[in-house]
Amino acid sequence: MWRMLINIYKEINQQTNIKRLTMKEILNIALIAHDSRKKELLEWVRNNAKLLSKHNLYATGTTGKLISELEFGTDQQPEYPFKGKVTRLLSGPLGGDQQIGAMVAQGQIDMLIFFCDNLAVQGHQNDVSALSRLASLYNIAFATNRTTAELLLTSTLLGDESYTRIIPDCIQQYANRKL
């Protein structure tokens, strides 16, 4: 079914000048969690460690530190599969959300997993809103909850080179607008 829909979509858009990005086998995945949801994100990372370890991980400061310190194995033989494998950026309120937003805009992030606290207004709410807007605008895989994150990470489209992520032409139109 998905293949049929992809082929139909490709045929419809062949004559347009839409920018397309081929789905890579190894993705750049950004992980962010507000303080009240860090525990939930860490549980999700633990449950999906095998899948996540195949990709390049980026995270805001504290979230990245906690993921890097996740302990697996036994007390006698602890393992830290993410130690040194997470690129840590600044803490979200100190510019980390904006750093990830810039990476999204530059095509350096393929998937964003952002467990945000929707019950509290953040001191850096404008940054949070801007990041969500950029994820939507640049058409990246974007989850704000565990169920969607599970579905994205286990999608059969991951690593499928016949699938292309379409960058909306409105971006180029805006960049090239006449003032």
Backbone angles phi, psi at 87, to 5 degrees: -80, 115
**In this structure, are residues 72 and 42 in contact, taking their beta carbons and an 8 Å threshold?**
no
Contact residues for 58 (Cβ-Cβ < 8 A; gap 6+): 28, 29, 30, 31, 64, 86, 87, 89, 100, 103, 109
What single-letter amino acid sits at 167?
I
DSSP 94: G
User: Distances from the Cα of 31 to the Cαs of 79, 81, 106, 137, in angstroms?
Assistant: 21, 16, 17, 18
Respond yes or no: is residue 117 known to be catalytic. no
97, 110, 127, 169: the catalytic one is: 97
Residue pair 21/156 in contact (Cβ under 8 Å)? The answer is no
Active site residues: 97
